[in-house]
């Protein structure tokens, strides 16, 4: 996750968007052939990483390792996360398939150089990632309460 999925997803999300501030409107998007190839590679990396996630006997982290944010309220320890992954492997694989599907949609959007589609698919990708994280990474995270 930390070496393939997260960097690829973050780069894809960050490659397109609009920022409005005091200086005006800034539109981010790949512009050169090289920048588009880079996003293509990132989408391929994301898709291929799902194959690793679906491998039998997949470890959450290496033996003795820790998950990101371990020790934070609501975040599973590496051991608890591994037990959950083993107990709910079918669900984990379904999440990996969903990530693969959205990765393929992102690849289609990148190859079409369709920045609006990239933004739309990026939103779906965020939902897929968050749904899995809420089960296998930080299921006990306290929810923010609305201000009164």
Query: Which pLDDT tens digit goes with each residue over 14-62?
Result: 999 999 999 999 999 999 999 999 999 999 999 999 999 999 988 888 8
C-alpha to C-alpha distance for 135 and 140, rounded to whole angstroms: 9
Fold of the domain spanning 5-52+71-136: 1.20.120
pLDDT in tens, 78-122: 999 999 999 999 999 999 999 999 999 999 999 999 999 999 999
Question: Which pTM was predicted?
Answer: 0.90
Q: How many helices (H) and strands (E) does the chain have?
A: 5, 2
* CA end-to-end span of the chain: 37
Residue 47: other Cβ atoms inside 10 A: 18
Parse the chain into domains and list their residue ranges: 5-52+71-136
Give the CA radius of gyration of the chain: 17
């Amino acid at each position: 996750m930390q070496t393939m999925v997260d960097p690829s997803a973050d780069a894809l999300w960050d490659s397109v968007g609009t920022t409005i501030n005091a200086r005006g409107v800034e539109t981010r998007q790949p512009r050169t052939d090289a920048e588009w190839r880079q996003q293509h590679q990132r989408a391929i990396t994301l898709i291929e990483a799902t194959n690793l996630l679906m491998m039998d006997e997949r470890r959450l982290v290496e033996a003795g390792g820790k998950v990101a944010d371990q020790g934070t309220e609501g975040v599973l320890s590496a051991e608890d996360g591994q037990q959950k992954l083993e107990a709910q492997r079918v669900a984990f694989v379904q999440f990996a398939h969903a990530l693969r599907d959205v990765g393929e949609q992102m690849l289609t959007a990148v190859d079409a150089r369709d920045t609006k589609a990239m933004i739309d698919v990026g939103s779906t990708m965020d939902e897929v990632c968050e749904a899995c994280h809420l089960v296998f990474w930080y299921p006990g995270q306290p929810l923010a309460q609305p201000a009164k």
